[in-house]
Every structure is written in C-alpha cells, then in structure tokens.
Amino acid sequence: MVSTTGSARPRAFDIKDPSLAADGRRRIDWAAREMPVLRQIREQFARERPLAGIRMSVCAHVTTETANLALTLQAGGADAVICASNPLSTQDDVAAALVEEGLPVYAIKGEDNETYQRHIRAVVEHGPQIVIDDGADVIAYLHTERKDLLPGIIGGTEETTTGVIRHRALEKAGLLAFPIVAVNDADTKHFFDNRYGTGPSTIDGILRATNLLLAGKVAVVAGYGWCGKGIAMRLRGMGARVIVTEIDPVRALEAAMDGFAVMSMDRAAALGDLFVTATGNINVIDRVHFEQMKDGAILANSGHFNAEVNLTALEEMSGEGRRTLRPFVEEYLLGPDQRLIVLGEGRLINLAAAEGHPASVMDMSFANQALAAGYLVEHGKDLEPKVYSVPEAIDREIARLKLQAMGIEIDQLTAEQERYLNSWEG
Ligand code: ADE
C-alpha cells in the first residue's frame, strides 16, 4: 500500500487498516503518561536532533510503547521504518497511527510467516545505517541475504536475551559486520523489563486468553532467568503452586532458595495444570512430556520464539484432533482422555493475547534504545564489530531519571564515605 499522508513524499507501508489511527493515537498517548524518561529524551532529541537524516530500520513489537520509541527517534531526526518482530504481536491501531505520523510500518497482527519475512525485507530495503532489532531476525537476514548493505551500517541495538545470544554467536563465528549494543543487558533493561514486565504481562496474556483461576493451580515455569523469575514470582502472587525447571545449577539453587519446588521437566510434566516456558531454547516441552500430561493441561510460552513447546510433535500426536476453542486457545486431542491446550500458537503469550509489558518498564528499555542509537551515531565509527554493553553512564542516568520521575530521593556518598571506599587501609 502507498500513502501520501503525514509525510512529504509518498511512502510505502503495509498495515491492516489506516482508519484505526485515531484509536491508536489515543492509546499511544495513554502509554506515554507512564514513560517519563523517554519523554525527556524525546524533548532533548527534538532540541538537539542527534539522529538527523539517519536511516533506521526498526524491528520491534508494534505496541503503544514501541510507538513512543519510534516518535522519539523521529523527533531526533531519524528516517525510521518499522516492521514487526513477531507475527502475532502487532497492535493494528498503533501501526495505523504511526503511518499517519509519517512513519512507514510493515506489520499486521496475525500475518503469516511469508508476510512476516516480506516485511523484514521491506525495512531492510530502506538501506539502514542503524538497525534496532528485537530477536535478531533483521540482523540475521542482513548477514545472510543482504551482505551488500553491511558496509553502510554504523551499528545496531538488540532488545532481547534471545537476540543477544544470536549476536554473540555471530561475533564468535567471526561474522558480525558492525557493532551491536546489547540493550537487553543494561541493568535498567533486564532487571525491570524482563522481570517486572514479563511476570505480569505473561499472566495477563494467559488470563485474557482463558479467564483461568490461577489460585490453587500447579504452574510449571521452565527457565529461571530474569523472565522466568518474574513469571514464577507473579504466579505465586496469584496463588498458584509454582514448580521451576532449570538446566543451570546456580539458577536452580536460587529458585529453590526463593522457595519454589525445583525438579526436572520429566517429573513436572505429570504434575502441572499450567506450563509456561521462558528459556530461549527449543523443545523444552517435548513428546515425552506431552505423553505424561494431565487432561486439560495448558501450555503457554513467554520466550521470544515459538520453539519452546514442540508443536510439530504435538501436531503429529494429535493428527486431525485439533480445534480452536476461543481466540488464542487451541485444543489438541491426544487420546480419548487427554486434551492439551496451547495458547497463542506457542508464541509469546504476553504480546499475542495481551499488550506486552506495561509502559512503565518499557520506558527504561526504550530510553536505552534511544540513547544507544544516539551513542552509535556519535561513536559507532570508532567501535569494532563486537557486541557492546550499554555504556554505564547511560544506564545509571536512566535509573536516575526514573527515580526522579517516581519522586524517589536517594542518598549520596559523603566525602568521608567516598574516601573510605577508595582506601585499602581500613
Ligand atoms: N516486549 C515486551 N513487551 C513489549 C511492549 N509492550 N512493547 C514492545 N516490546 C515489548
């Protein structure tokens, strides 16, 4: 589709319905109220235009929070185009509102895989100087199919744990062509977004899809990374009896000492009423586990890719015995007495059936994204093709601004304390 609205020149985009823009605009403004840090950066960007004329390809969940990031980049002068980072996470009204603001969007909720890939190709066609990625699909595509564009890229940023793992693998293989800032690894990102965002938003997705009562249910959480910690903590808060499964001995110990039952998935499979995966790995719940599960067990994923629950095996096991019970709720009939329920096609349930993390945590994640993009424009040419952390000064400044916005004051070291901390004599 081609539009002439909202921008000087006709620009292509591909969204569901431009007439949804007014609804999207209202919801974007609603999210903005909870994003004071990003708002300050947007004001600063509007004054200083640090991204003036920079072509940016953004691959992200097209939500109200992402819209506020996109408008911040635009205020900084960026020429940004956006595609979805997941076929099920797009909010169509938000996509429409962004197009009206002159930001080309390629994203439609429920798009098939072929459309999803076409949208990635469309944003890459923009010839980015900066890439903002969420899961590394754009950067993987650039490194395989569009190597011709690599020399023009100053750098990229990555939003997720999964994406950072892929970028590190690319670096280890000696193939990474430009510097990547691992936004996920900033303290003001993963401590808050991954934990305090994933916990409630995952539960929100499960509840919106099912209207399930969690109190008294046995919930199995696979993975005790930052996302798994958040999910387990909030499921317990809703009254579920939570079991954690892990492959890492330290994390397993941590889960045990946080008071969760810890066991292998082989044992947990028969016990769970609800399973939630957050490992970043494949086939964490597999054929052997399905075979043992209770009738009616519910499976949801909160990891980036829909690979954590082995759906291919489940489809083979159920044959034709499969039906949709309600939106995002699919039943697989494995035998006369065994029905398993998969939510949101095994895609991240918080964005498929709900709206993703609350704006207040995305405020910090996207403040990191915006400032990391500015940092790359300023310093990218001096960086090597490696995975970098967000500079500590940016991370701490975001925490300071967030505290300020929350009206929280903290102490400062006295000169005496500073001296004490810097001395070895005692
Ligand atoms: N990832 C998780 N929640 C999100 C949100 N609300 N917006 C964009 N990306 C997200």
Q: Is the CB of 363 under 6 A from ligand 1?
A: no
Residue ranges, the chain, pLDDT below 50: 2-10
| 357 sits in which H/E element | none
**Atom of ligand 1 minimally distant from the CA of 357:** 3
Q: Which domains are seen in the chain, by residue range?
A: 18-189+357-406 (3.40.50.1480), 197-352 (3.40.50.720)
Instruction: Tell me what pLDDT residue 5 has.
Output: 40
Q: Is the CB of 63 under 6 A from ligand 1?
A: yes
Q: Are 1 and 16 in contact (CB under 8 A)?
A: no
Instruction: Tell me what pLDDT residue 10 has.
Output: 41
Q: Is the CB of 58 under 6 A from ligand 1?
A: no
Tens digit of pLDDT for each residue in 269-313? 999 999 999 999 999 999 999 999 999 999 999 999 999 999 999
Tens digit of pLDDT for each residue in 39-52? 999 999 999 999 99
- Ranges of beta strands (E only) in 241-336 are 241-245, 261-262, 274-277, 298-301, 322-326, 329-335
Q: Is the CB of 356 under 6 A from ligand 1?
A: yes
pTM across the whole model:
0.94
List of residues 6+ apart from 255 with CB closer than 8 A = 224, 229, 232, 244, 246, 262
| 133 sits in which H/E element | strand 130-133
Q: Are 24 and 94 in contact (CB under 8 A)?
A: yes
Question: Backbone dihedral region of 350: left (phi > 0), alpha (psi from -120 to 50 degrees) or beta?
Answer: alpha
Instruction: Tell me what pLDDT residue 194 has.
Output: 95
Q: Is the CB of 302 under 6 A from ligand 1?
A: no
Closest CA to 154 of 172, 135, 138, 132: 132
Q: Which of 62, 64, 65 to probe ligand 1 with, by most ligand atoms within 8 A of CB?
A: 65
Instruction: Tell me what pLDDT residue 11 has.
Output: 74
Cα of 260 vs centre of ligand 1, distance in Å, is 27
Instruction: Tell me what pLDDT residue 1 has.
Output: 52
Share of the chain above pLDDT 90, in %: 96
Q: Is the CB of 189 under 6 A from ligand 1?
A: no
Cα of 382 vs centre of ligand 1, distance in Å, is 31
**Atom of ligand 1 minimally distant from the CA of 348:** 2
Cα of 378 vs centre of ligand 1, distance in Å, is 27
Cα of 281 vs centre of ligand 1, distance in Å, is 20
Instruction: Tell me what pLDDT residue 425 has.
Output: 84
Closest CA to 164 of 145, 189, 198: 189
**Atom of ligand 1 minimally distant from the CA of 160:** 1
